[in-house]
Structure formats: C-alpha cells, structure tokens
Structure 1
Amino acid sequence: MLQGFKEFITRGNVIDLAVAVVIGAAFTAVVGSIVDGLVNPLIGLLFNADSLNTAMILQIGNAKFTFGAVLAAIITFLAVALVVYLVFVLPMNKYREHQAAKIAAGEPTDEPPTETQLLEQIRDLLAEQRGVQQGRHTD
C-alpha cells in the first residue's frame, strides 16, 4: 500500500498539479489585491462608498445584505479568469495551432514523437531490413 502511494505521489502529473495549485493561489492573491486595491475603490466612488465591498448594503432588521461584496467577488473572479485566459490558455491554443500547421505542412515539430509513431518507425525499419536481407539471399 505504501509503495503504491509513493508511486502515485511521485508521478510527474501529480507534482505538476500541486505546483499549479500553489502558483494559482498566489496568482489569485495578486489579482485579488489589484481588484481590491484599485478596481473596487474606483467603483465605490460611483456609489459614494469606500469600496465596492461597502457599497449597496441593504439592512432589513438584523439581516444585512451586502450586494457590493457579492459584485466585488464576481469582478475578482472575472478578472482572474481573464488574466488566466490571456496568460495561459490563449498562448497555449496558439502554440497548438502552430504545431498542427507544422504537422499538416510536413515540417518537423518541437514535440517528440508519440509512442505509436516510434513503434511505426521501428516496424518500418524492421520491414526494410528484412527486405534488404531477403534481397541478399536471392543474389
């Protein structure tokens, strides 16, 4: 059981995922502070409040509805999603399109061949060797 856990935890994709989560959390903190420190106060000016978090508060009895805080959370989420898209997703999509165009044009790519491609190359080389060896026997 411990050996299986050790293999699972040392797999490359698990470590990559852990790194991505840590970087994502730090990245979210940076974008969140930009939204909290710049965007929310600017929007708060429209509502004559310190920030968006303190704007649009509705109090009915003891219940306090903070619509501004909800709107601030939505803005933070959209800002993080936009930056992630522009920094990570869009460049990766462009890279994949570029690689697909290279493959379609028959140019060599930066990516290593897949296992299937390697096996096909080995098969073709072995068939070629057999053909050459059979040609020698008939001479």
Structure 2
Amino acid sequence: MLKGFKNFLMRGDVIVIAVGLVTALAFSTLIKAFTDFVINPIVSRFQGGGSAGLGWQLGEKGNDATYLDVGQFISALIYFLIFMAVVYFLIVVPYKRSEGRRGVTVFGEPLPVKTCPACLAEDLPEAASKCRYCATQQPPAGAPA
C-alpha cells in the first residue's frame, strides 16, 4: 500500500503540479504586496479629501461595514490580472513548451464539434458516428447535418 502511494507521489505530473502551485503561491505573495503598497496608494489618491478610500459611505459616517470601497475592488481586480498573467507566462507557457517537446498537446484548441439533429446535443465530436445521448446515427464528418 505504501509503495503504491510512493509511486503516485513520484509521478511526474504530481511533481509538476506541486512545483507550479508553490511557485504560484510565492508569486501571489509578491503581487499582493505590490498591489497593497503600490497600486492601493495610487487608487486612493484619486479619491481626494479625507475619506477611507475610493468609494461611498452607505450608512452612518465612520462605519466600515457600510462603506462601499470601490478602490479595494479595483486593487483586487488589478491583483487578479497581474497574478493570472504571471501564472500564464511563467508556468503555463513553459509547461506547454516542455510537453510539446515530448509530443503531448496540453491546453490546445478544442476539437471541432457538431450538433445532433435528433436531440440537439451540441457537444458531439465532429468524427462521431453515433450520438452519445440518443444513439442516433450521425452523418459522416464534413457532411451537412
């Protein structure tokens, strides 16, 4: 039983995912600091005066629970966009390239699909000869439905 668990952990895919996750967490911390200490002050500067941030007070003045803080949302959106760009360019692109060298296609374009004329299922592979849902015979690939 332990040998099977060891074999599972030592598979290449699990190691790649673990390294990618740790790398993403490290970049997340870095990007969070960037948005907190660089982006947030810039966004807050646009609100002017002495309010708590870029937004509106919906309830009584000074109550943080009723403050609609648009600035924090903008900062979170910027954080998300930067983080996803970092993950894509530093993890996904190199992974696609390394798997491509091994002859494996990952994150490729979706295969073409067709619609079943009987049950109107829209996710049948183009080469399917039978519908997976209603078992209706399908026209050959490339023929009109």
TM-score band, normalised by shorter chain: 0.5 to 0.7
Say if 2:80 is the partner of 1:77: yes
Preserved contact between residue 46 and residue 54 of structure 2 (Cα < 8 Å): no
**Structure 2 unaligned residues grouped into runs of 5+:** 105-145
Q: 1:68 aligns with which of 54, 71, 75?
A: 71
SS at match of 2:58: strand
Measured in 2, the distance between the counterparts of 1:75 and 1:113 equals 36
Equivalence for 1:15: 15
Structure 1 residue 85: Cα displacement: 3.4
Equivalence for 1:102: none
Structure 1 residue 9: Cα displacement: 1.3
**Pairs within 5 Å for 1:21-40:** 21-40=21-40
Q: What's the Cα RMSD here?
A: 3.2
Counterpart AA for 1:80: F
SS at match of 1:54: coil
Equivalence for 1:43: 43
Cα distance, 1:21–1:86 mapped onto 2, change above 3 Å? closer
Counterpart AA for 1:17: I
SS at match of 1:42: helix
Query: Any runs of at least 4 consecutive aligned residues in structure 1 with deviations exceeding 6 A, and if so which?
Result: none
Structure 1 residue 80: Cα displacement: 1.2
Structure 1 residue 48: Cα displacement: 2.2
Structure label with greater radius of gyration? 1
Identity of aligned residues (%): 31
TM-score, normalised with respect to structure 2: 0.52
Structure 1 residue 78: Cα displacement: 0.8
Aligned length: 98
Equivalence for 1:3: 3
TM-score, normalised with respect to structure 1: 0.54
Preserved contact between residue 57 and residue 68 of structure 1 (Cα < 8 Å): no
**Structure 1 unaligned residues grouped into runs of 5+:** 100-110, 115-139
Measured in 1, the distance between the counterparts of 2:49 and 2:19 equals 38
Measured in 1, the distance between the counterparts of 2:55 and 2:92 equals 35
Measured in 1, the distance between the counterparts of 2:94 and 2:3 equals 38
Equivalence for 2:110: none
Which structure features the higher share of helix residues? 1
